[in-house]
Amino acid sequence: MHRCEMTGSALLLLLVATCAMAQQAVTLGKCEGEDYPSFKSVTVYPCESDPCVIKRDERYNVTFSVEATSDANTIHVTTAKQYESENTHINMVNSVSCIFLDVPCNVTKGEVFQGSVKLMLSQMFSPGELTYRLQVSDGPNVFACGQTKLTIE
């Protein structure tokens, strides 16, 4: 192997290792007050710890894997962000159809599928702790729901 090929291979390996380290499998607990199925997996990129430390005005990609509990032709992803401090209470809920997301629209019962959503916090969030909730459904049937705490920097 030539010296240039070895250097290129080493750089590629370093790049792959760096990217793998910057995404973190995140543990989601059960959604409060509900007994919905859990996610197969959830990762946040970039993130290096669990719970993730989130910087305001930066984009994060939340990728999930979930099992369909029924046949569906329209998938909805709902995210909720809850934040409280001495002076502030923020409760943001966003529900988006598969047409606008990286999520399949047609799934069959028992199928494990993946999807992703973007997470970004504006400057209105002060440093502290945030509850992040993720739910995937076809409307009436919830396929998975989970929530976790994120640290805001």
Q: Is the dihedral angle over the CA atoms 117, 121, 122, 125 positive or is it negative?
A: positive
- Tell me the per-residue pLDDT of 14-46, one tens digit each, with 9 for 90 and over: 333 334 446 788 889 999 888 999 999 999 999
- The whole-model pTM stands at 0.82
- For residue 43, being part of any structural domain is answered with yes
- For residue 2, being part of any structural domain is answered with no
Q: From 58, 65, 15, select the one nearest 43 (Cα to Cα).
A: 65
- For residue 140, being part of any structural domain is answered with yes
- For residue 141, being part of any structural domain is answered with yes
Cβ count near 134 (within 10 Å): 23
Question: Which CATH number covers residue 145?
Answer: 2.60.40.770
- For residue 12, being part of any structural domain is answered with no
d(CA 27, CA 21): 16
- For residue 64, being part of any structural domain is answered with yes
- For residue 51, being part of any structural domain is answered with yes
Coil vs helix vs strand at 47: coil
**What total number of domains does the chain contain?**
1
- Tell me the per-residue pLDDT of 58-95, one tens digit each, with 9 for 90 and over: 999 999 999 999 999 999 999 999 998 888 889 999 99
Coil vs helix vs strand at 28: coil
**Helices H, strands E: what count in the chain?**
1, 9
Residue 85, token pair as written in the block: 């401090």
d(CA 45, CA 60): 6
d(CA 113, CA 28): 18
Q: Range of 130's domain?
A: 25-152
- For residue 106, being part of any structural domain is answered with yes
- Tell me the per-residue pLDDT of 99-115, one tens digit each, with 9 for 90 and over: 999 999 999 999 999 99
